[in-house]
Structure 1
């Protein structure tokens, strides 16, 4: 369990935990108003080539006692494998926060925890396709600056990269997402 400040605790999804899976589904459905992102996570979970259980991170409010907090997830972030011209990378997607906790730091807590896990594991970089004004606070920058593109990325500035290892040689080319994305 990681403490990420006075409001949020994070931990990885427990492999095979129906409770965690239901909690993630609840968070994502509420955050997006659809089941598409929750279904994506369920499909990725079945894809052993792209799924890394440690990188499915839940966030819980620290105000709830330890004995109870694990049943009330407020946020979720996922890093999963993707490919860039045949070389593996990580993609941050999806990330969601229960509407009543948006703007309270829950999303940042789970994103920061996932990034830290990847950094601890020696991963060289993480990609995200998201708001160009939000993700730079974590160190993301335009992926096009390092030669990473994607045919599916309708908004080029939204495809961003966070370099975790400045000594690593980053792949260049097009991002291929897992088949769970249907593209």
Structure 2
């Protein structure tokens, strides 16, 4: 892993900010080499029942520690609503980092920031469908062990859950994603 000593600042997307939306699009297109994830975010933003602007988080290098100065955005993470067995939950998707900043901690910074926001808000859990070797560092574990499944999940081990409230009664059943996913 390449480290450059960057300090990462994170903040939620400013609602209605064309600049933030352009930054998110730039990050996701560069990270994935396609506009599919950026288009997904735009569609989710239009689905008010699934969109929570507080959980749309950008990461910036902080040129001066503890300053308000932000350089251009380098990383992005989003939590949006989904359902599990008909009960509301959160899904972490998409996340991305500009290629020139991968391995510098930018992705970790935005993922940790968005998970902390959800925990502060009393959300019980977050799901992710992603690399099984990457997400456990954030406390994710196989969702199937809690009875959470998804018809669209081709790789069962990639569907993972992070419990944010150990006292919460977690739902089990099938994960349903917003219509923007077209699954």
TM-aligned CA deviation for residue 140 of structure 1? 0.2
Q: Gaps (5+ residues) in structure 2?
A: none
Q: Gaps (5+ residues) in structure 1?
A: none
Q: Which residue of 1 aligns with 2:70?
A: 69
Q: Which residue of 2 aligns with 1:171?
A: 171
Structure 1-normalised TM-score?
0.94
1:8 pairs with 2:2:
no
Structure 2-normalised TM-score?
0.94
The alignment's C-alpha RMSD in Å is: 1.4
Alignment of 1:16-55 (within 5 A): 16-55=16-55
Q: Contact 2:63/2:69 (CA < 8 Å) preserved in 1?
A: no
Moved over 2 A (4+): 64-68
TM-aligned CA deviation for residue 16 of structure 1? 0.5
Q: Secondary structure at the match of 2:95?
A: strand
Q: Secondary structure at the match of 2:171?
A: coil
Q: Which residue of 1 aligns with 2:144?
A: 144
Q: Secondary structure at the match of 1:162?
A: strand
* Mapped partners of 2:180, 2:119: distance in 1: 25
Deviations 1:76-134 (A, max 9, x none): 00000001121000000000000000000000000000000000000000000000000
